[in-house]
Amino acid sequence: MVHKTSNVLDALPKSVHKRAKKAIQEITEAENKTEALRAIEEFASEFSAKWPKAVAKITDEKEQLLAFYDFPAEHWRHLRTTNPIESTFAPVRARTDLTKGPGSREAGVAMIFKLLEVAEGRWRRINGHHLVSLVRAGARFVNGELVERSEEKDAA
C-alpha cells in the first residue's frame, strides 16, 4: 500500500496530499471489504472531478487492492505490504552492490543462497501461521473469517 499511496500522491498536487493520505488510509484500514469499497467511492467522489488519473490508480485496481480481505485477518498485516519481500532481498542487494557483482553466475547463485540462508535466521513467523495450511488447501475466507461449507450452501 505504501507504493500505491506514493503513486496516487504523485498524481495529486501537494496541497491535497494530507486529505488523500487520510482517504487512502480509510480504504486500507477498513474493517471489511464492503466498508473499503465505500471508502473507495468516497475517495473517487472527492477527487475525481479535478484529478481523475489519481482516482483511476485506485479504482482501476480495486479488486487487487482489496484481495487481502479474502485471506485470514491475521495475515492482513503481512499482505498489505511488500516489506517481507524487500527485507528478504536487502542483504543480497547490499552485498552484490558492495562486491560489484559476483563474477560468475554460479558464484552469484551460491552467494545469494548463503546470504538468504543466514538472513532466514532473523525472519519472524507470520501472524496466524497455523492458518497457512488452510489457505493452501483452498479454504475460503470472507472479510478475514473462515467460511464453513454449510454457510456457503446457505448463502447460495
Contact 122, 88 (CB under 8 A): no
* Torsion of Cα atoms, 126 then 130 then 132 then 134, to 10°: -160
Residue ranges per structural domain of the chain: 2-68, 74-78+128-155, 83-120
| Tens digit of pLDDT at every position of the chain (156 positions) | 777 888 999 999 999 999 999 999 999 888 899 999 999 999 999 999 999 999 999 999 888 888 888 888 887 777 776 666 667 777 777 776 666 666 778 888 888 888 888 877 777 677 778 787 887 888 888 888 788 765 555 554
- pLDDT score of 35: 94
SS3 146: strand
Q: Answer yes or no: pTM beyond 0.85.
A: no
Backbone angles phi, psi at 96, to 5 degrees: -70, -35
Cα–Cα distance for residue pair 69/50, rounded to 1 Å: 30
